[in-house]
Amino acid sequence: MSHRRGPALLCLLLATVLTLSAAAVSSRGEPRPAVPHSLEEETVHYGETPAVRIIPLTDLERADTQATDGMTVPVDPAEMSAVLAECTLQDGTIIRLYAAAEGRIDGAFVRPDQGWFRFVRLSDGTSASAAFAVNPTLTPFDGVLGKTGFLLRYANPAGIYTYDYCWFDPDGSLRTLRATFDPVALDLDGDGTAELAWEIAEWQNSFSFYCRGAGGALYQVTPGACLENGGTLVAVEQEGPGPVRLIYRCEDDAGQTSFCAVTFQDGALRIEPNIAYVPAAPEDTVAVPDPTAGRTALPHVSVTAPDGRTMDGAGEAAYLDLWSLLWNSPYAAPAGAVVVSTDAPLDEETAYTVTFSDPEAGETFSWSLDAEGVCRFDGIAGNCRLVCTGSGSLPAYCHDVLSLYCEASRTARNYDDQGRWLGWDLVPVQSKVG
């Protein structure tokens, strides 16, 4: 599964989404000389422009790839009482999630001409730890940070997902990068290789990304930590080819508000403080009614890929995950996604379709989303554009989640060949005695 993004996705603003009733969301802002009417003039400060700061990646700490040398444990395939998911990488390496004795849930790999090695334990079989292995998925990835490997995704009871991107070094060592909160692969510096960004939603206030420096070294960069008084990411902009501009709202010790731009290019961060930036005027949003509101039964959910493959049902955890993309979120975020009208056509070749159905009433509600953020909803005339998800994330993240579920239904053993859900009851969770 490739993870490269075109420039069109990056033109969407992550404007203030904590107060949805104020519709304080915009699609893109251009620099203008005047102070906007939406901000009080006395709160905006554009003093003399300080010099641009350049911070080389070599001045920052390298990312911890959690090398597993000496930490993998040989495992006997006979211990794998039930296989949850399995995928095969391009070099023939097999990755497997499986249930073992006493309700344990482990992950293991076998490389060509080698034995099986356990690399992760998602649950030790106790009811408490089992809750932290909700809805695991195992899918291959290609192109993120120039790597090819597999993605292990699982959630805790609050619905917060952990993403472990894993790959093998040439010497056979397994490496891992962990991301949480809406990770998405974006080409931030415009060099054709995707970086891995996460915590993009404004309410999180800690946008970070993994990137590759000279010689292949990996770095974790949190631009807000490089700003004098910190800042909040409010926009992700790109005009044509080239690097992305990250727009931050900053406030000094005196409470004066200003904006700065951060660009990642040529192995360094370029920080332009005190720029003249004006958010675009708010657009009218489209209300998307929640078809599950007031229902007593848990609706059935399915996701259909552009090639027609359908993940048909995925249990409560997956339903809540997909539902929160539009109508709510387990995070301290807005009460729903921000959607605006558009004349752009829906690209059927990249569009995924989600269908919620009520098993009691027999009613259905479907919505579709393409790779450029264009969407279509039952009961709403014309096409729309997804500005941000229910947790304030980019539409690229939403598209990735839909793709992930369809891909996971190919690797998970609790789906049949047609993508139909067979249920987690294949692997009952047991509590350890004593």
- Based on DSSP, count helices (H) and strands (E) in the chain, helices before strands: 3, 25
Tokens in use for 365? 């509600």
- 131 with 111: CB under 8 angstroms? no
- 106 in the same domain as 31: no
Structural domain boundaries, residue 89: 73-172
Are 58 and 206 members of one domain?
A: yes
- Note whether 51 and 131 are same-domain residues: no
Q: How confident is the model at residue 162 (pLDDT cuts 50, 70, 90)?
A: confident
Q: What is the mean pLDDT of residues 159-169?
A: 87
Over the chain, what is the mean pLDDT? 76
For residues 319 and 375, membership in a common domain is answered with: yes
The pLDDT-based confidence of 129 (bands split at 50, 70, 90) is low
pLDDT above 80 for 259: yes
The β-bridge partners of 154 are 162
Q: Which of 243, 184, 267 is nearest to 5 (CA)?
A: 184
Task: Check pLDDT > 60 for residue 343.
Answer: yes
Count of residues for the chain? 434
Compute the distance between CA of residue 324 and CA of residue 290 in angstroms, rounded to an integer: 10
Give a yes or no: residue 184 inside a domain. Answer: no
Please tell me the total count of domains within the chain: 3
Exposure of 179 by Cβ count < 10 A (0-12 exposed, 13-18 middle, 19+ buried)? Answer: buried
The string of DSSP letters for 229-257 reads TB-EEEEEE--SSSPPEEEEEEE-TT--E
Same domain for 417 and 304? yes
Structural domain contains residue 1: no
What pLDDT is recorded for position 43?
Answer: 40
Give yes or no: residues 331 and 214 share one domain.
no
Task: Kindly report the backbone phi and psi dihedral angles of residue 417, in degrees, each rounded to the nearest multiple of 5, phi listed first.
Answer: -65, -20
Q: From CA 200, how far away is CA 280, in angstroms rounded?
A: 19
Q: What is the pLDDT of residue 231?
A: 82
Task: Answer yes or no: do 55 and 110 share one domain.
Answer: no
The residue among 219, 241, 275 that closes a domain is 275
Lowest mean pLDDT among 37-51, 109-123, 188-202, 409-423: 37-51
Quick one: pLDDT band at residue 117, thresholds 50, 70, 90?
very high
| 306, 419: one domain | yes
Side-chain-facing half-sphere of 194: CA atoms under 13 Å: 22
Q: Radius of gyration of the chain from Cα atoms? A: 23
State percent of the chain over pLDDT 90: 25
344 in a structural domain: yes
Measured distance CA(175)–CA(392) in Å, rounded: 30
User: What is the arithmetic mean of pLDDT over 399-417?
Assistant: 78
Q: Which residues contact 105 (CB under 8 A, 6 or more apart)?
A: 84, 97, 98, 99, 121, 122, 123, 130, 133, 136, 427
Q: Which of 126-135, 295-304, 376-385 has the highest mean predicted lDDT (pLDDT)?
A: 376-385
What string of DSSP letters covers 168-217?
E-TTS-EEEEEEESS-EEE-SSSSSSBEEEE--SGGG---EEEEE-GGG-
Nearest to 366 by CA among 374, 354, 357: 354
State the pLDDT confidence band at 214, using cuts at 50, 70 and 90: confident
Tell me whether residue 286 is in a domain: no
User: What's the pLDDT score for residue 416?
Assistant: 55
Examine residue 191 and state whether it is found in any structural domain, yes or no: no
Domain assignment present for residue 294? The answer is no
Full-model pTM = 0.77
Is the pLDDT at 425 greater than 60, yes or no?
no
Tell me the C-alpha distance between 298 and 311, whole Å: 17
Residue 185 lies in a domain: no
Q: Is 407 helix (H, G, I), strand (E, B) or coil?
A: helix
CB atoms inside a 10 Å sphere around CB 355: 18
pLDDT for the residue 33 = 32
- One domain for residues 331 and 267: no
Phi, psi for 274 (deg, rounded to 5)? 55, 45
Query: 378 pLDDT band (50/70/90 cuts)?
Result: very high
Shared-domain flag, residues 153 and 41: no
Q: Let me know whether 107 and 55 are in one domain.
A: no
More confident residue, 353 or 429: 353
For 86, residues 6+ apart whose C-beta sits below 8 A from its C-beta are 94, 95, 96, 97, 138, 411, 413
Same domain (yes/no): 260, 315: no
Q: What is the pLDDT of residues 68-110, one digit of tens each?
A: 554 688 999 998 888 888 899 989 999 998 888 777 888 999 9
Residue 53 has pLDDT above 70, yes or no: yes
**Residue 162 CB-density burial (10 A; 0-12 exposed, 13-18 middle, 19+ buried):** middle
* Residue 124 in domain: yes
Output the pLDDT for position 28.
32
Q: Using CA atoms, how far apart are residues 371 and 350, in angstroms rounded to an integer?
A: 6
Domain boundary among 260, 275, 290: 275
Overall average pLDDT of the 130-154 stretch? 83
HSE-up of residue 74 (Cα within 13 Å, Cβ side): 3
pLDDT of residue 211: 93
**Residue 300 φ then ψ, to 5°:** -80, 145
Amino acid type, 2? S
